[in-house]
Amino acid sequence: MLGYDTIAELVAGAESRGCTIGELALRDQAEAMEQPELELFEKMELDYMVMEKSVAEGMREDRRSMSGLTGGEGRRMARYAEQGGGLLGPQVSRAVSRALAAACCNASMGRIVAAPTAGSCGILPACLVTMHEDRGVPLERIVMAMFTAGAVGMVIAKKAGVAGAQGGCQVECGSAAAMAAAALTELNGGTPRQCADACAIALVNQMGLVCDPVAGLVEIPCIKRNAAGAMIAFSAADMALAGIPAYIPADECIEAMRKVGDALPDTLKETALGGLAATPTGLKLREQVFGRPGA
């Protein structure tokens, strides 16, 4: 997106024009790309349809990862939701099931939307599909909220990056949770400033999260971190909507996340050499998939 390098600039731009961050992003993107707003909106709508399909595909009984390590998590959680949803309640449990399902779709080589990465692809769909299907939010508003999420994601990508190999899982699932939190806040009538607070709160709650995929695959613990990221997005949005400030501005949170990522050792940056990947069970699972080292 042209001309916005910080979350503060996004907020100021939206406030000065009397619009939402999503509306600002769509207008400026259309101008920068010299394309009609409707054309860009329709392209984003197609992305949402892919998100819905990735959730549905991940719910299938026969959907398993190529490694055989994971599969069916989303469907199990959906059944749990149908039985009352336990501690979280049915709606939140359905959101968790959708995050798991989309992430499982990715692990089984299904088509997903990287939002912002494949490893964090379940967070934004979990939030948006839940708002659309469970809360009845019109599709048009859902798509506009995707522009909000995209604007936030582009700033984070510029300032800190979104690759786990660069900054750990905090820049993957953390960024996705921040994008989703801003979108949820806007969908619930929040101001641009509240969207920024939600973004910051979400980042704070994933700060320092390492990238330690077992066997080097985006499955364990990645799939479950998508579910946790969705919950962080919902809680961050609710805190912002309740008027609870982030205190540390979103841009400073992003910069802090970048510095934390730089400080992480390579063993905790997608190399599968540390964290859960290096546990006895993690190593056994690696052998199960690839055989013994040198075999």
Per-residue pLDDT tens over the stretch 168-195: 999 999 999 999 999 999 999 999 999 9
Q: Does the pLDDT at position 294 exceed 50?
A: no
Q: Does the pLDDT at position 1 exceed 50?
A: no
**Predicted pLDDT at 256:** 98
Give the tokens for residue 225.
Answer: 């971190």
Per-residue pLDDT tens over the stretch 119-134: 999 999 999 999 999 9
Q: Alpha helix (H) ranges present in 160-279?
A: 164-167, 173-187, 192-204, 222-241, 250-263
Please state, as a whole number, how many other Cβ atoms lie within 10 Å of the Cβ of residue 30: 16
Per-residue pLDDT tens over the stretch 155-172: 999 999 999 999 999 999
Q: How confident is the model at residue 3 (pLDDT cuts 50, 70, 90)?
A: confident
Give the tokens for residue 289.
Answer: 């998939």
Q: What is the mean pLDDT of residues 226-247?
A: 98
Phi, psi of 211 (to 5 degrees): -110, 105
Q: How confident is the model at residue 2 (pLDDT cuts 50, 70, 90)?
A: low
Per-residue pLDDT tens over the stretch 237-289: 999 999 999 999 999 999 999 999 999 999 999 999 999 999 999 999 999 99
Q: What DSSP character marks residue 138?
A: -
Whether the Cβ atoms of residue 204 and residue 239 lie closer than 8 Å to each other: no
Q: What DSSP character marks residue 165?
A: H
Please state, as a whole number, how many other Cβ atoms lie within 10 Å of the Cβ of residue 273: 14
- Residues near 141 by Cβ (< 8 Å), separated by ≥ 6? 187
Q: What is the pTM of this model?
A: 0.96
Q: What letter represents residue 13's amino acid?
A: G
Q: What is the mean pLDDT of residues 96-119?
A: 98
Please state, for a pLDDT cut of 90, what percent of the chain lies above it: 96
Please state, for a pLDDT cut of 70, what percent of the chain lies above it: 98
